[in-house]
Amino acid sequence: VNNTNETFRHFVLYDKLPVKGDVHGFANIVTGPVVAPSGFKVYYNTGSDLPDNPAEGVNADGWVENVDDYSKVTALKIVMVNPEVIEPGEDINFDVPMKSPAYEESGELNGKISSNTYYVNRDAADLTNFGVSNTVQNQLPQYFLVKKDWKNRSSEVTSITMELYRESEPDKVVATIELNEENGWKGTLKKTSKDTIIDPNIKDWKVREKLPENYGDDYEGAQEKSTQGFYVLNKRAETQHTVEKTWNDNEDKLGLRAPITVQLKQNGVAYGTPVTLNAANGWKYTFTGLPKSLNGKAYEYTVDEISVPAGYYNEVKTEDGKTTITNHLVDPVKVDLIFTKKLEGRSIVDGEFTFNLLNGDGEVLATTTAQADGTITFKDVTFEKAGTYKYKVVEVAGTDKTIQYDSTEKEVTITVTQDGNAYVASVAYPEDKAFNNTYTPPTTTTEEPPVTTEVPPTPKQPGLPNTGTESGIVAIVVAIMSTVAGLVVLTKKKEMNA
């Protein structure tokens, strides 16, 4: 506009466009030719080192009337061609098509200001006499990139609404944006809900999540603000759970301990990957970083033993964030092994026949005797491990020569299997479980009673006369004894002849 009372017969305009990085926050971009009234000629320059001084700039090298790429234009020069004049109060319009730079996600250009000053010379007598015609200040709008990150996001959370507000006016929502899986949980707030620009001169902008019910119980939020915008991290409220293995096995008495694999469960469903417990890690492990709750309801964590080592059964106890798994040895199983004793020829006397139970190496495991009814019982034969046991039962030969002892070996197989918390034993006997002995009475000689010949009494002799001496009496006695002796000898001979 010619705001003077003079008629302008000379007009030169110099406009060095703002360059990002000097005193300007950004550089506008020329998008096409400048539209000027007739009588004016437009020149373009793409140089990068044009002087700020307009008197020097208009005389710099590189001015052309046409360019192939207007986005590279760095300066404009407009010259009035004679005999054109500008009358007092006359408006002269130059249409310069320009655009601001594209939005950068880095947020570097948010709210940046750029000032474009152009100079005019209207003095044909002094071509160096340039004055400031106008200064146009441009400010880019405020864009906020809102980025949402999750740690342990529940699959039930598929989207979230973010609200832009001023910290000084927390009850007033200025703009909203929805973040979800499809947009990668990020988006840019460019305008208010009223379709106006977001004022870049306001410094207390903040964002917050529009929380679903009980959402705040499940997550802990953290927010960072930068020139780019807002970075919001939602971290699940976390807990941890410890599992420990203990053994009730008399310090591994049977050598059955083995590494075990355990599975963490969340509300009864397997969660995460199995973990191995062994002596190296002290039979203990802590699961960390576990989601604490869902919709305000705490998760229940437990741990199961995937496979209990053979010979054990487990007892699981969970309380106060810890599961203790105790492996107990299965109680030994006891079996009575029963055989039969048969004796031909007489009855069995309780305890007179002895039997041994032998293992596969021939070692004596137990000894018992047969009862009077012929029952042979190895009572409470004990098995502490599952497996197949092959034993033999043999009779211990006695010294009674009237008994013929059974020398056969009776094989018996005991199969022990684990059924839950107990062992079960099954016994496979041979077809013949009987030991057969024979009694033979001893052979004896029967003696006949001796034959005795009775001697008839001697008739009484008449008395001899008394001679008055004893010699006669003695002679008589001797004679009688001799006679008796002869009879005895005669009798013995008869016995022998008989």
Domain shared by 246 and 189, yes or no: no
Q: Is residue 46 situated within a structural domain? A: yes
What is the pLDDT confidence band of residue 347, given thresholds at 50, 70 and 90?
Answer: very high
Q: What is the mean pLDDT of residues 139-151?
A: 87
**Which pLDDT score is estimated for 457?**
60
**Which pLDDT score is estimated for 218?**
77
- The percentage of the chain sitting over the pLDDT mark of 70, rounded to a whole number, equals 87
Domain shared by 218 and 280, yes or no: no
Whole-structure pTM over 0.95, yes or no?
no
Strand partners, 169: 166
Q: What is the mean pLDDT of residues 388-417?
A: 96
Q: Which two tokens stand for residue 30?
A: 């020329």
**Which pLDDT score is estimated for 465?**
40
Q: Is residue 70 situated within a structural domain? A: yes
Q: What is the mean pLDDT of residues 203-212?
A: 86
Q: What is the mean pLDDT of residues 117-131?
A: 92
Domain shared by 119 and 23, yes or no: yes
Domain shared by 348 and 407, yes or no: yes
| Distance separating alpha carbons of residues 321 and 301, to the nearest angstrom | 8
| Domain boundary pick from 206, 236, 266 | 236
Helix/strand/coil (H/E/C) assignment for every residue in 182-214: CCCCEEEECECCCCCECCCCCCCEEEEEECCCC
Q: Is residue 496 situated within a structural domain? A: no
> DSSP string spanning 209-255?
EEPPTTHHHHEEEEEEE-SSEEEEEEEE-EEEEEEEEEEESTTTTTS
Range(s) of the domain holding residue 292: 238-329
Domain count, the chain: 4
**Which pLDDT score is estimated for 458?**
52
**Which pLDDT score is estimated for 468?**
41
Domain shared by 110 and 156, yes or no: no
Domain shared by 243 and 230, yes or no: no
**Which pLDDT score is estimated for 290?**
92
Of 100, 98, 97, the C-alpha closest to 24 is 100
**Which pLDDT score is estimated for 448?**
61
Indicate if the pLDDT at residue 239 is higher than 80: yes
Number of neighbours of residue 231 by Cβ within 10 angstroms: 17
Domain shared by 210 and 172, yes or no: yes
What is the pLDDT confidence band of residue 450, given thresholds at 50, 70 and 90?
Answer: low
What tens digit of pLDDT does each residue of 427-440 get? Answer: 999 999 999 999 99
**Which pLDDT score is estimated for 482?**
42
Q: What is the DSSP letter of 70?
A: G
What is the CATH number for 169? Answer: 2.60.40.1140
| Domain boundary pick from 385, 416, 439 | 439
Domain shared by 148 and 135, yes or no: no
**Which pLDDT score is estimated for 456?**
58
Domain shared by 377 and 418, yes or no: yes
**Which pLDDT score is estimated for 332?**
96
What tens digit of pLDDT does each residue of 213-224 get? Answer: 766 677 777 888
Q: What is the mean pLDDT of the chain?
A: 87
Comparing 267 with 90, the larger pLDDT belongs to 267
